[in-house]
Structure 1
Amino acid sequence: MLIFSALETWLETEREQVGLWAPVGLGAGIVAWFWLLDPAQWLAFCCFALGVAALAALSPGSGRLRHIVMAGALLATIGCLLIWGKATLLGQPPLGRATFVEMTAEVRSVRPVPARNMVRAMLRPIDAPGLPVTVRVNIPSEDVPKGLGEGAVIRFRTRLMPPAPPGVPGAYDFAARAYFQGIGATGKALRPIRVLAPTRETPPLRARLFAHIVDQVEGPAEGIAAALATGDQGAISDADAEAMRRSGLAHLLSISGLHVTAVIGAAIFLLMRVMALSRRAALDWPLMLIAAGGGALVGIGYTWLTGAEVPTVRSCIAALLVLGGLALGRDAITLRLVATGALIVLFFWPESLVGPSFQMSFAAVTAIVALAEHPRFRAFAAAREENWSWKLTRALAVTLATGLVVELALMPIALFHFHKAGLLGAFANLIAIPLTTFVVMPLEVLALLFDLIGLGAPFWWLTGHALDLLLAVAHGVAASPFATLLAPAMRPGLFALVIVGLLWCLLWRTRWRWLGLPPVLVGVALVLVAAPPDLLVTGDGRHVAVRSGSGMAILRDRAGDYVRDTLSESAGYEGDLSAIADLPMARCSTDLCALDMHDPAGRTWRLLLTRSDMLIDRPAFAPACARADIVISDRRLPLWCRPRWLGIDRQLLARTGGLSISLEEGEVHTVHRPGDAHPWIVKSRMRKRRPSRQL
């Protein structure tokens, strides 16, 4: 009883903060749906949560803890039902298997990707009942026919694939995202592409603005300029995008709080100055209310123009709440504002919770507001009468402290999703944020405005040079060996522990908030000291990466950049992948590679890998199979191939997806869990066949 009494006393002290946990309760139900495997488990979770709520409602007393448990359980139930319902009603089931088709389709949207020399089209197949409602195809720029656009009807040949699942454990899951985006298949259009009915629609404003900016700005800066105005990053080269990520400046490319705030702030400033020119308006009209309303309309229009991505919508909602609070004379920039925005986003886009965009966006804003609400920080940052040098020093200190707090809050999220976290972003942002907010964006707005009368060229020239400076900062910071922290894939359970600890630190106010710090520190420490996997196998079995004394090596040295990046990031390795055939402990022919690996305990593991499509006679292959501890093939292994520990072939990978293996612990982690019934997972259709006498 003393414990419950102490809890009640503490919760009474924190009563102003209790409501901030409402999005956490809703999110717990959403996470449960993603983590649990099938409808029976989802239903069991909902029943359990409702049972907890009922027990809390029937328990004696009327304390705050009772109400918190009841509300949290109900919110978790609502969250699980919300994402379950959206997945059932609005999701797009994936194509069952790869298929080569000649397809007639109506174009729904076209998005140029100049950095990759292609166009990405969303299509609705016509008279093709066996195909998904929406497919996405890539068209090389040189093959784009005239008349391609929204509403056009085209005919072409393509090999359609189900949206790709993670290549290895911890990699990006495009299949889950595509399911909620309504994409059932992807492919590449093959020439000739015939236009049966050309488009009659004018390209959307966003597409016209993107093309106009790319035409006006020269060099690498064109992609950054287009992204700042439209949110479309298709014109940014891979090298520049990687430099922005490593330097901690990638948030500038995604239309979020910085951009929306700058646009709305500029609109309010201009409206106030224009209305103040009228004496009658200045004396009689509620200028702030009118300017806030105009700023709100500008913010909504900007959000629509840039594609209404989750960070933009979150920022727009937050800005509208701030404007409403200011109009009512309230202090609107609080954690309650952040919690309200999170609830709105989760209600309409519950699937966004498990993506890095939502997590990083709200984690950064929560960290900034929590720091701003701290009494000591608020006292240090408050305006006061002092000379300009102290004001500048204080402003730089506040900016640096804010950047460091944001970097620390984002570190576990970045390690979980990208297996790397920035360390110098706070220092890079000291230059990049003022440069973007006060130089680049105003110049770009002026350039667009003066383009209406044909005089925007000087402003575009200045914008290009300012963006060149921004890219120079990004590449300079990214080149530092201390720019990023690498780590292998983090386990979901450990990540959940870190996030709960982080929220505990940020959402409470009393000294008990620091109880959340040990889980965060322990979780991050476990990730940093974790040994990378010894062996990675992609879901198709074609690509294998092994850890060697000098780094990482890959089976097929002609693998593309996407495969190489996926394997490197999942292993927490930054460097070039060498060829397994070049390793001193490997013996490779055209068809096979035999490899001896040593784990930290000193045990020698013998691996046998197939590396061609040629059939291998049983007399040559059977003895090698018997000597190997692990055999890996992208084809079906015959039953007589029995390695000592593990045989990995097409049939096994069809059920498990990609694999990561730690030899010393004997652990095998899979992409797909047994019994996983989430609707975006393509079920294996492998048929059992009689044992083959050859591989």
Structure 2
Amino acid sequence: MSRGLAALERFLSQAGFDRAPWLVVAFGSGIAAWFALPSAAHWIALCAGCALVAAAALAPWSGRDRWPYLAAALAVLPLMVAAGCLTVWARSAAVGESALARPISGVFVGRLLDVEPQPALARDRLVMAVREPGTGRALKVRINVPAEGLSSRPALGDLVRFRARLMPPAAPMLPGAYDFARTAWFKGIAASGTALGPLEVIERGDGSRGRLAALRQGLADHIRQGIGGEDRAAGRNGPEVGAGGGAGIAIALVTGDQGGIPEADAEAMRDSGLAHLLSISGLHVSAVVGAVYLLVVRVLALFPWLALRVRLPVVAAGAGALAGLGYTLLSGAEVPTVRSCIGALLVLAALALGREPLSLRMLAMAAWCVLLLWPETLMGPSFQMSFGAVLALVAVSTSAPARRLLAPRDEPVGTRALRHLAMLLLTGVVIDLALMPIGLHHFHRAGVYGALANMLAIPLTTFAVMPLLAGALLLDVVGAGWPLWWLAGRAIDLLTGIAHAFASLPHAVTTLPAAGPLPYVAFVAGALWIGIWSGRVRWLGAPLAAAGAALLALAPHPDILVSGDGRHVGIVTEGGDRVFVLRDGGEGYARDNMMELAGLEREPAALDRWPGARCNRDFCVLAMERGKGTVQVLVSRGRDAVPERALAAACDRADIVISDRWLPRSCHPRWLKVDRTMLGRTGGLAIRVDARRIHTVAAGQGEHGWWRPAEPTPCRRAASLPAQRFPAPQESGGAARGCLRSPAKPV
């Protein structure tokens, strides 16, 4: 052990690495641990354990004089882990708001806090402050208002009366799906719903809250008129609004509002790997800041008297900082934009001080600032993909081979351009490889040709689309911006054409089923090791990252998917090439989630089309061939009460019973009974029949404030109805008996 500690101490003393990134990694690990651990007792134990390790490393008998680098690491890193855990815990306690206990409907009076126009969906999304009926508790709610309910747009701060049905924020529909309840918790939203009629403004606000929002909306309307033409801008909420994708994409690039982008264009941008262009982040902020910086430097350099007496880079950095801050406020100051603004400000500070602008220390400082203010963003794809892309960029650009490739040399201009083009392609490929597992983990799909598409789209957006939009807005001050509006529209058409072209290529999109957190954690750990270390030691993380990526790619598909309310059931074929759904209602949220979590793109089929399935109005019985045996599945599909004795007999012949009702105690399938009682405790399910494994939504929630299991329901007797309602299943081999206690009466 002594020789091992000495070798580790020697390695740390000679590595010459930057310690700041590892401190931020430890801070983020504490945040991730808070989300992963289930209860306050575990969080306290983690913090106490970290404090004990730090105290032991600083103790006189610890040998800190003999191993100073190792002792410093063991003293500081655990404290950063504890600090991350405590930071997100405090953030959760400060902003979290308990959700509604149950759905409610009625007439509400509330103060308008925020407006998100979504013209492409013919609706607006409003955030209101209301009082909970009965308790008088102040609530923040989010409602969708259809276009016909917005005869006059309310302004921020207005007091509004509206009729709506409000629901608690939805938990993930299936394991690995989007967790809106967690997002709503950290936004302080206690309910969401849809307005059931027009809104009525009963008291106008003072207008102080909505000036920036009004400016942003006015700018969006101006862009829509400039690019889409007056015929599109004539009716704010008519069906023609948002009909063209050019205006919607232009508005997204300038104001960050993506509500006007048609779904076809948005899907093409996602599948081609260009979706990051639509959300204002590092590319857009850096383009604005860089353009202002260069413009100020070049203009001021024309005045020799000023150039000899003033440090022009400092003045230009100040102007760029003001431009970045103004752009961030104008675009709504969302977390990704604020994160990008912080990074841009740090780069400007480095330029003003004559330091290296793009470094791991700058990236670590920007990440720490964001995590300190919004620690919950660590778990979202936006934070992970943006910082992952910058980390890959820094790692590639600062590596020895890249420095040799870009080193100045005496050569023709064409050769130099080819070297830079090769570096651009290499960087794009590395960033694409780094981001693909992140996209597959969060969205279960990723574009294959993202590197090539970005090579064309990023220069087009940076050097054509955004300068044309900025120039058109400036020239419109004197009414002369129409030529640039026309050019900007053609450039955006070219951008969407690139997206559609790459998205339509064969095998342009890779889809994979949900794989669980462990493979993803392994990939992230290995990728961080590769990105932060320098020299040969960085490649020690390659096996771990490769193993994590391989496990993500080889994740087995689930056999059965059951939504948290039991109303949506998907059964996947043995080859994993198609899913059969209980309710084939066409496109919708439930259908998309089923296909996404199963990792499939082929259109689903109705459950009664399963080979050999026997269905009637109340139940379906089907046989699943898995491994060496056959599994009989009984799925309820009706809402009528059924004879309990007939139900019990059908359960005895089935291996798995799935229902959105409360099943009686007499229902004893051979292996698993899934009913409303079980789903109330577990949430949605992903079942692997061959391995007898059940993945639940509840397993990843713990005792965090946004997760509340359903309360048990009292037992009731089943009503007796004549007639046999169960198709006769085939007999199959026995399996382990499993039964959950449940009320007696099916609903």
Query: Does the pair score TM above 0.5?
Result: yes
Shift of 1:193: 3.0
Q: Which runs of 5+ in 1 are unaligned?
A: none
Alpha-carbon displacement from aligned partner over 1:64-97 (angstroms, at most 9, x marks no partner):
1111111110001111111111111221221122
The whole-number CA distance in structure 2 between the counterparts of 1:92 and 1:387 is 64
Identify the residue that residue 2 of structure 1 maps to in structure 2: 3
Contact 2:644–2:718 (CA under 8 A) maintained in structure 1: no
Q: Does 1:413 align with 2:438?
A: yes
Q: CA deviation at 1:130?
A: 4.9
> How far did 1:222 drift?
1.5
- Structure 1 pair 553–585 and aligned structure 2 pair: CA distance change class (3 A): same
Could you give the per-residue CA deviations for residues 249-297 of structure 1, whole angstroms, max 9, x where no partner exists? 1111111111111101111122123323333212322211111111111
Instruction: Note if contact 1:271-1:291 (Cα within 8 Å) is conserved in structure 2.
Output: yes
Render the CA deviation track for 1:645-680: whole Å, top value 9, x for unaligned.
111111111111100000110000000129821001
- Matched to 1:93, the amino acid is S
Aligned residues: 694
TM-score (norm 2): 0.90
Q: Do structure 1's residue 473 and structure 2's residue 494 form an aligned pair? A: no
Q: Matches of 1:555 and 1:659 in 2, distance apart?
A: 15
Tell me the CA shift for residue 211 of structure 1.
Answer: 2.7
Superposition deviation, residue 382 in structure 1: 3.4
RMSD of aligned residue pairs (Cα, Å): 1.7
**For residue 121 of structure 1, what is the aligned residue in structure 2?**
126
- 1:656 to 2:715 alignment: no
SS, match of residue 199 in structure 2: strand
- 655-664 or 315-324, which deviates more: 315-324
Aligned to 2:624: 597
Residues 546-604 of structure 1: CA deviation (Å, up to 9, x unaligned): 112551111100154211111111111112111111222211112211111111x1311
**Which AA in structure 1 matches 2:110?**
A
Alignment of 1:446-595 (within 5 A): 446-548=471-573, 551-558=578-585, 560-595=587-622
Q: Counterparts of 2:205 and 2:335 in 1: how far apart (Å)?
A: 30
How far has the Cα of 1:215 moved from its partner? 3.0
**Alpha-carbon deviations, 1:380-423, whole Å to 9, x = none?**
12344433322332222111101111011112211211112222
Deviates more, 1:380-389 or 1:33-42: 380-389
CA distance in 2 between counterparts of 1:444 and 1:460 reads 7
The amino acid of 1:551's aligned partner reads: R
The TM-score, its normalising length taken from structure 1, stands at 0.97
- Residues 555 and 501 (structure 1 numbering): CA distance in 2 closer, same or farther, change over 3 Å? same
The verdict on how the C-alpha distance between 1:383 and 1:101 changes in structure 2, with shifts beyond 3 A counting, is: farther
Instruction: Write the distance in 2 (CA, Å) between the matches of 1:200 and 1:572.
Output: 50
Shift of 1:538: 0.7
Whether 1:75 aligns to 2:80 is yes
**Which residue matches 2:739?**
none
Taking only the aligned residue pairs, the percentage that are identical comes to 46
**Aligned mates of 1:116, 1:602 — CA distance in 2:** 49
Cα distance between partner residues in 1 of 2:137 and 2:590: 27
Helix, strand or coil for the counterpart of 1:196?
strand
Q: Deviations over 1:338-378 (max 9, x none)?
A: 01111111111111111111111111101101111112202
Counterparts of 1:183-262 in structure 2 under 5 Å? Answer: 183-198=189-204, 201=207, 202=211, 203-218=213-228, 219-262=244-287
* Stretch moving more, 149-158 or 514-523: 149-158
Name which of 64, 71, 74 aligns with 2:69: 64
Q: Could you tell me how far 1:685 is from its partner in structure 2? A: 2.4
Partner AA of 1:19 in structure 2: A
Distance 1:2 1:14, change over 3 A: same
Equivalent residue letter for 1:650: R
Give the direction of change, closer, same or farther, for the CA distance of 1:127–1:682 in structure 2 (3 Å limit): closer
More deviation in 286-295 or 388-397?
388-397
Contact 1:502–1:516 (CA<8 Å) still a contact in 2?
A: yes
Q: What's 1:681 paired with? A: 707
AA of the residue aligned to 1:152? D
Q: Which moves more between the two structures, 193-202 or 275-284? A: 193-202
For residue 172 of structure 2, give the secondary structure of its aligned residue in structure 1.
coil
Conserved 8 A contact 1:94-1:682: no
Q: 1:427 aligns with which of 449, 452, 465?
A: 452
For 2:700 and 2:259, the matched residues in 1 are separated by 37
One-letter code aligned to 1:635: R
Please give the alpha-carbon distance, in whole angstroms, between the structure 1 residues aligned to 2:701 and 2:423. 50
Within 2, Cα distance between the matches of 1:618 and 1:171? 35
SS at match of 1:157: strand
Residue equivalent to 2:47: 46
| C-alpha distance in structure 1 between counterparts of 2:45 and 2:647, whole Å | 49
Indicate conservation of the 8 Å contact 1:119/1:140, yes or no.
yes
Pick 1 or 2: higher relative contact order, CA cutoff 8 A, min separation 6.
1
Q: Specify the SS of the correspondent of 1:123.
A: strand
Within 5 Å, give how 1:74-473 maps onto structure 2: 74-126=79-131, 128=133, 129-130=135-136, 133-198=139-204, 201=207, 202=211, 203-218=213-228, 219-473=244-498
Question: Aligned partners of 1:147, 1:336: CA distance in 2, in Å?
Answer: 46
What does the per-residue CA deviation read over 1:470-524, in whole Å, with 9 as the maximum and x for residues that have no partner? 1111111111233222211121122112111111111111312111111111111
Distance in 1 of aligned mates of 2:32 and 2:247: 39
Point out the more displaced range, 212-221 or 51-60. Answer: 212-221
Counterpart of 1:302 in structure 2: which amino acid? Y
Residue 410 of structure 1 aligns to a residue whose secondary structure is helix
Give the whole-Å Cα distance in 1 for the aligned partners of 2:130 and 2:43: 34
Runs of at least 5 residues in structure 2 that lack an aligned partner in the other structure: 229-243, 720-744
1:617 corresponding residue in structure 2: 643
Q: Distance in 1 between matches of 2:447 and 2:58?
A: 46
Does 2:683 align with 1:631? no
- Distance change in 2, residues 1:384/1:205 (3 Å): farther
Which moved further from structure 2: 188-197 or 570-579? 188-197
What's the offset of the Cα at 1:619?
Answer: 4.3
Decide whether the 8 Å contact of 1:20 with 1:335 is kept in 2: yes
In structure 2, what is the Cα distance between the partners aligned to 1:508 and 1:279?
45
